[in-house]
Structure 1
Amino acid sequence: MKKDFLTLKDYSKEEIKYLLDLSGKIKKDKNSYSKVLEGKNIAMLFDKHSTRTRLSFEVGIKQLGGNSIYLDSKKLQISRGETYQDTAKIFSAYLDGMVIRTYSQEIVNIFAKYGTIPVINGLTDIYHPCQILADMLTLKEMELLNKDLKFTYVGDSNNVTNSLIIGFSKLGIDITIGCPQKYSPPEEIIKYARNQKEGSKLNLVYDPVKAVSDADVVYTDVWLSMGDEKNKQKLTDLKSFQVNYKLLKYSKEEVKVMHCLPAHRGQEITSEVLDGKNSIVLQQAENRLHAQKALLVYLYAN
């Protein structure tokens, strides 16, 4: 039976830990995995602009011995009315797997439902599970991924926030979300996290200073996601949640700052912080490659 990677909801604590361990092994010894995808063809169907997701998957597939095929949906028959269901069946006849980066989660779900090949969610409007695997790997490398971690996300609640909440709830690690109340995570995500058996706490805090108080890690993301660029009111509403050194003085002295990139310097984070000694952003970005290679091996090598 095939296994997809649509959301971290579908993965157990043990599976997530296995992927993180495998990521570390591949990162240390990439040559031992250089032929595991030999003969495999994996398509990358993208509706959204991409730097890290496209590069990390293309390079990762190649380093594992596979072949990647980049597809722009605007140049496929999908754009002329062919259904996603039919496209999924055709892709399954030609390919061994696919990565989808699109707007609606429903599109990813359709490909998974009607296709017979494993599907990876490269990003949708509500989930970004690949990013969170890389984030967890980064925290694990710094020996921070444990139940003592004080982790705060500040800013706009989005696909990254949703996936962080789900992932941390699976591992039993507390997470604080700092944002204006009207930008809180969806109620469905909140309920899901609070119902997990691992016993982690999800704290919603509407004051930025209280949110980052004594934090080990402060994470932020863009305030205006793709497709949301005209929402200028959000910039005003979120202004006090900018990650700058004035705010970080309330966190621990050695606080680590995370951002999934791309960053809008001067909006959600200052250049001083992004480029500063507390930033582990570049390590995060590099780990997209290693975490996704582990995912590719897990789904396609056997």
Structure 2
Amino acid sequence: MQTIFKGKHFITLQDWTEGEIDTLLEVSFDLKKKFAMGTITPYLPYKTIFLMFFEQSTRTRNSMEAGIAQLGGHGNFLDTSTMQISHGEVAKDTAVILSRFGHAIACRNCVWETGNKYLREME
């Protein structure tokens, strides 16, 4: 079965089918194996991924930036001090602007309802 992820948002597993989750895990395991073997995986050449963080996190930020770099992309870190969302800007407005300059947005917000609200607004 072919799974198409282009344009698919990952907000919660409840939005995905069992087949999509299986494919996601298979690809993840394959990438992890290739990394361990030293295989170059340039799947994101010249791609910019915006990382919107609403809480500080050493492990999550660094693992995301490392993963993006290992795939040939660039992670651009944004936190509440550099985003206007914390000053009342609507998440969709921020997403529209960022989408002009990048290829994807990853959001880390530990408050379930708030994080999901931002992500749903950006769809």
Aligned residues: 112
CA deviation profile, 1:77-121 (whole Å, cap 9, x unmatched): 22333222211111111110011011312112112x2xxxxxxxx
After the TM superposition, which segments of 4 or more aligned residues of structure 1 sit over 4 Å from their partners? none
Structure 2 residue 118 is the aligned partner of structure 1 residue 107? yes
Question: Higher relative contact order by CA 8 Å / sep ≥ 6: 1 or 2?
Answer: 2
Alpha-carbon contact 2:44-2:68 (below 8 Å) kept: yes
Matches within 5 A, 1:245-260: none
Provide structure 2 residue ranges, at least 5 long, that are not aligned to the other structure: 1-5
- C-alpha distance in structure 2 between counterparts of 1:51 and 1:23, whole Å: 21
Structure 2 residue 10 is the aligned partner of structure 1 residue 5? yes
- C-alpha distance in structure 2 between counterparts of 1:32 and 1:9, whole Å: 33
Question: What SS does the corresponding residue of 1:21 show, helix, strand or coil?
Answer: helix
Provide structure 1 residue ranges, at least 5 long, that are not aligned to the other structure: 114-302
Alpha-carbon contact 2:34-2:41 (below 8 Å) kept: no
Residues 83 and 59 (structure 1), Cα distance of their counterparts in 2 relative to 1, 3 Å cut: same
RMSD after superposition: 1.6
- C-alpha distance in structure 2 between counterparts of 1:81 and 1:34, whole Å: 39
Alpha-carbon contact 1:26-1:33 (below 8 Å) kept: no
% identical equivalent positions: 38
Structure 2 residue 25 is the aligned partner of structure 1 residue 14? no
Moved more, 98-107 or 54-63: 98-107
CA deviation profile, 1:7-28 (whole Å, cap 9, x unmatched): 1012111111112222221112
Q: Which residue of 2 aligns with 1:25?
A: 30
Structure 2 residue 42 is the aligned partner of structure 1 residue 35? yes
> TM-score of the superposition, structure 2-length normalised?
0.82
Q: Give 1:12's aligned amino acid.
A: T
Alpha-carbon contact 2:85-2:94 (below 8 Å) kept: yes
Query: How far off is 1:75 after superposition?
Result: 2.3
Q: Which residue of 1 aligns with 2:3?
A: none
Residues 82 and 26 (structure 1), Cα distance of their counterparts in 2 relative to 1, 3 Å cut: same
Question: What SS does the corresponding residue of 1:70 show, helix, strand or coil?
Answer: strand
> TM-score of the superposition, structure 1-length normalised?
0.35
Q: Which has the larger radius of gyration?
A: 1
Query: How far off is 1:55 after superposition?
Result: 1.4
